[in-house]
Amino acid sequence: MGEFDLIKRFFARASTPLQPGVALGVGDDCAVLAPPAPGAQWLVSSDMLVEGRHFLATVAPERLGHKALAVNLSDLAACGATPRAFTLALALPRADEAFLAGFARGLFALADAHGIALVGGDTTAGPLNICITVMGEAPAGQVLLRSGARAGDDLYVSGSLGDARLALEVFRGSVALERGADFEAARRAMECPTPRVALGLALRGLASSAIDVSDGLLGDLGHILARSGVGATVQADALPRSALLAGQPLALQRLCTLSGGDDYELLFSAPPAARDAVLAAAAASATPVTRIGRLEAEPGLRLRDAAGAALDWSEPSFDHFKVS
Ligand code: ADP
Ligand code: MG
């Protein structure tokens, strides 16, 4: 199968109805997109997935296709943008038809769920590497940024944190967990994250800042604090987590929820006067949100444990959880 057959067979979907703003998709030298509606702006983001670094070779191709697009949609969600279209640049060691069919199935299932079309890309031989660029739009002035948080604002996170990291530690062999339904749920969190697009849209005009949690809560919160010029206190042991994670040793729970990575939840701030409106946005988007702390004028990040005492937490080494 040559490069052009491969593109035609797996990625050029003639049946896809063109989305608003997409004048021409796959097949020519460029995709052709109309400018967004008057008063709206384009938002563009790219995320690359590299085998061994962002996913394990054992992941099912369908889940990999889902995740490659999901992590990109998560960036649009964090900005409160409506997804419109995406491109796919793909390096493949070989044209493996079963892999490509599965990958395309997972990719397009998520694309269809958000009504967006694949409008172009590039395909080459090489070590497995997936780079997607998403395009979305939002009304000018309503884009959610990392820089808008104010001292006194509440801090919230969507969904739950830490399951993806828990599954990763099981795969690494540093945590022992029975491979039952509970483990499958954690594995799904790692391999099949849900981008919080509906919540991001519902938070437009409400949240003062937002970011998606891809590198761990503490690191990503650090970006909001740095860009907004504020500090924060976070209730570390009140971070939302699954029943599975809540049943693990406390140090492991903290590792997974505080610095987990691959959560793809939204971390955002809003003034206390907006509490009811935030709950309404969560309900309208069918996405749970939890208030986890507060932004303060004093720079730095302070953690509190369940008893309200200051928690001096630094990431333990992996060996800490090694089952001997
Ligand atoms: P060019 O040589 O002009 O860069 P290509 O031969 O690489 O174009 O690609 C031909 C067409 O197929 C283009 O419209 C391009 O956007 C599209 N395309 C290539 N690879 C992919 C892919 N992985 N997914 C979607 N479209 C792709
Ligand atoms: Mg060309």
Q: Give the pLDDT confidence score for residue 181 in this predicted structure.
A: 83
Q: 0.75 cut: is pTM over it?
A: yes
159 CB under 6 A from ligand 1? Answer: no
Q: Which residues in 12-27 are b (16+ Cβ under 10 Å) and which e?
A: bbeebeebebbeebbe
123 CB under 6 A from ligand 1? Answer: yes
CA 59 to ligand 2 center in whole angstroms: 33
Residue 243, Cβ density class (10 Å: 0-12 exposed, 13-18 middle, ≥19 buried): exposed
230 and 297 in contact (C-beta within 8 Å)?
yes
Residue of 3, 8, 122, 134 to mutate, ligand 1, most atoms within 8 A of C-beta: 122
CA 27 to ligand 1 center in whole angstroms: 7
Q: Give the pLDDT confidence score for residue 57 in this predicted structure.
A: 84
77 to each of 43, 211, 283, how far by Cα in Å? 11, 9, 16
Q: Give the pLDDT confidence score for residue 62 in this predicted structure.
A: 98
Q: Give the pLDDT confidence score for residue 266 in this predicted structure.
A: 98
Q: Give the pLDDT confidence score for residue 318 in this predicted structure.
A: 45
Q: Tell me the pLDDT of the chain (324 aa) as tens digits.
A: 888 899 999 999 865 566 778 889 998 999 999 988 899 999 999 999 999 888 888 899 999 999 999 999 999 999 999 999 999 999 999 999 999 999 999 999 999 999 999 999 999 999 999 999 999 999 999 999 999 999 999 999 999 999 999 999 999 999 988 888 888 999 999 999 999 999 999 999 999 999 999 999 999 999 999 999 999 999 999 999 999 999 999 999 999 999 999 999 999 999 999 999 999 999 999 999 999 999 999 999 999 999 999 998 876 554 445 543
Q: Give the pLDDT confidence score for residue 313 in this predicted structure.
A: 82
